[in-house]
Amino acid sequence: MNRWLKRGAFALCGLVATGAAALVLGAQLGERKMQRQVALQVGPVALPGDDAGLARGKYLYLSRGCTECHGVDGGGKDVVNDGKGMWVRAPNITPAPGSAVERYTVADWVRTVRHGVKPDGRPAIVMPSEDYNRLTDADLGALIAWLRQMPAATGGPAVIEFPLPVKALYAAGVIHDAAEIIDHALPPSQPVPEAPTAAHGAYVANACIGCHGAGLSGGRIPGAPPEWPAAANLTPGDASAMAHYADAGAFVRMLRSGRRPDGSAISRVMPFESLQALNDTDAQALYLHLKGLAPRAAGNR
């Protein structure tokens, strides 16, 4: 009996050692993937030179999720720091001396924001460029114009620290960066009239893709800390979050307050700092688009 116990213990130790070695190898492959070169040719977009264009760029910065990572002042802040090996800090993206973007050209901004690729060709890890890939050229130009003239803020470089399992999952393709899932050959969106319509809402909803998936049916957010809740199903399918909102007014009040009509609080993982900045036209249009989507099963990203 003792002989079999010893053999079992040796076998178990072997399995643990093999698993640990595979995890370390996966993490090394993940590190290598982060350093890969993404071949990409981009051209600059036209930047507005008037106050209206800068105002549009500022509105997009405040309302499309940028502040959730970079802060209202653009200086950057911790996105995740769980004390367990995962630390993601967004960089200072103001034109302050020594900032990550101090020497960015317009083409560098296009490459990073629209395609998730740094000027040196490496992927911009964690940057949710899938949310911004579909910006029209006019809106992207307005956003870049605002970023290039923001007041200098205090802040440091990006910090990207992942635990070994996350790096291994990234290497295996379970977790993706934006650069590998974006169709870089897809032309920019064409402008649609800004109005409380489902067509305009579809454009606004592009800012929701990073968390809720391309199909907006939610599910676990790839690469997110395990304690984060799954993103809600925004389609009219099973377990739809939209069932709480009988009309656009109720939906807009939720965006402004962070609470459902019954008063219950929604997870603060939702980017309410940005959602509160959506104007009524964009918020109502988003509601109409979401209510008109084809039902999808929850989590069918």
| Model pLDDT for residues 153-174, shown as the tens digit of each residue | 999 999 999 999 999 999 999 9
214-235 per-position pLDDT tens digit: 999 999 988 788 888 999 999 9
Between 5 and 188, the higher pLDDT residue: 188
Segment 96-102 shows an average pLDDT of: 94
Can you give the pLDDT at residue 22? 63
Smallest Cα–Cα separation from 195: which of 286, 133, 62, 277? Answer: 286
Q: How does residue 23 score in pLDDT terms, banded at 50, 70 and 90?
A: low
139: which 2 tokens?
């809106």
Residues contacting 115, CB < 8 A, separation 6+? 38, 40, 42, 129, 133, 178, 179, 182, 184
Can you give the pLDDT at residue 21? 57
Can you give the pLDDT at residue 205? 97
Residues contacting 222, CB < 8 A, separation 6+? 174, 175, 176
Between 203 and 12, the higher pLDDT residue: 203
Can you give the pLDDT at residue 290? 98
- Alpha carbon distance 59, 216 (integer Å): 23
Smallest Cα–Cα separation from 136: which of 194, 188, 207, 62? Answer: 188
C-alpha 37 chain-centroid distance: 21
Segment 277-287 shows an average pLDDT of: 98
pTM above 0.75, yes or no: yes
- Alpha carbon distance 194, 59 (integer Å): 14
Can you give the pLDDT at residue 55? 98
Segment 236-251 shows an average pLDDT of: 93
Q: Which residues of 150-181 are buried (b: 16+ CB within 10 A; e: fewer)?
A: bebbebeebebebeeebbbbbbeeebbbbbee
The secondary structure element, H or E, covering residue 79 is strand 78-81
Q: How does residue 5 score in pLDDT terms, banded at 50, 70 and 90?
A: very low
3-class secondary structure, 89: strand
Instruction: Confirm if 287 and 252 have CB atoms less than 8 A apart.
Output: yes
Instruction: Confirm if 184 and 115 have CB atoms less than 8 A apart.
Output: yes
